Amino acid sequence: MKKTPIFAAIALSLAGNAYASETPSSPCASADAPSPYQYSITAAPWAAETNFKYSFDSSGADTKYGTPTSELNFKGMKSSGVAITLDGSNGNGYRTLTLSLGKGSGSNGTMVDDDYYSEGYVGTGNPTRFSSTLSDSRMSNSFMLSYGYGSVFSFENPIISEVRLGYGISVAQHTFEAKGLEVLEDPYNMYGSKKELFGKDVQIIKMKNQQLLNSLDLGLKKTFSNGIALNAKTNAIFLGLMRTEDDHLKRQDLGSPSFVLTSAVYGLKTDLSASYSVDKLTFTAGANYMFLTPYDFNSNAEVFDKNDKSIGGVPIVSHEFKQIGYYAGATYHF
């Protein structure tokens, strides 16, 4: 794999932040020395639904079909797990570390594999499919580790009680799989009379999605006198790297992985929650939504033959990740 400029950008970003203070000062804070950090730990079970899509233009790959575009669309992959968060604040600054682990749960999602004539692909004209297949899909497992730090601003007014401004970095890996292969459209009779090429217990695709994300974070909190609080947080993902390894297990002409997509991405993660505090405990319930999409850097998907040798790249058309999640947790304050 060739190194991409995004690695250098991320390295510079991390190097710059290495010089930042772990306890940033706030203009609204007292001139006195900051108090010691007060820590809390949170355990929050969660459930999520993930959608993932990629497509590439395989120009010249098969002259029989001109210049087709291939699209894989994973929808409705359900997963669940638990997130453990360690949070510290001293009134001026904060720092937080979160580890989240999960696996597939509930009903399977679906994966539709569509092949289009490129001159008729969505966005360039009337889409013309020459192949469409359906498989069951699921998220096998999920891992995420994030760290953030920044400044805390406290207010006494009817609208807002606390504002957090900071920087965050996270790494994540999600594994998807698809089983079975049912023919939906076959206008050129490529598959013959068979409408089910593989049974639902036969794994045909295994996919690994990796993310390295840098974000600017904004958190808002309104605390009421009865212990109830409303919280809103936004992570503006301005510099990210998303890498997907796609292993087509039944393609004898391709290697393992079969395709590797690497994209510089941007996106957004929003989180809304309500909490109730009593003594040293806080109980929270909330929901969040996240999406990632590539910058337009004309990235390529690298293709590997049956000998696991790269045979070149094909232009990436789309490379998108979306997830909606729900959680409920308990926090203990030290």
Q: What are the residue boundaries of the structural domains of the chain, listed by start?
A: 42-333
Identify the residue with better confidence: 327 or 21: 327
Tokens found for residue 219: 């958190």
Give me the mean pLDDT over the 113-120 stretch.
Answer: 74
* pLDDT at position 196: 85
Q: What is the CATH number of domain 42-333?
A: 2.40.128.90
* pLDDT at position 192: 82
For residues 69 and 60, the answer to whether their CB atoms sit within 8 Å is: no
Identify the residue with better confidence: 13 or 140: 140
Tokens found for residue 287: 């929901």
* pLDDT at position 184: 92
Closest C-alpha to 266, from 217, 314, 321, 326: 321
Amino acid found at 68: P
| Secondary element (H or E) of residue 75 | strand 68-89
Q: Residue 123 above 70 pLDDT?
A: no
Closest C-alpha to 302, from 313, 318, 311, 294: 313
Average per-residue pLDDT in the chain?
84
| Secondary element (H or E) of residue 187 | none
Residue 104 banded pLDDT, cuts 50, 70, 90: confident
Distance CA 300, CA 316 (A): 5
For residue range 242-265, list pLDDT tens digits in order.
999 999 998 888 889 999 999 999
Buried b (16+ CB within 10 A) or exposed e, 101-136: ebebeeebbebbbbbbbbebbeeeeeeebbbbbbbb
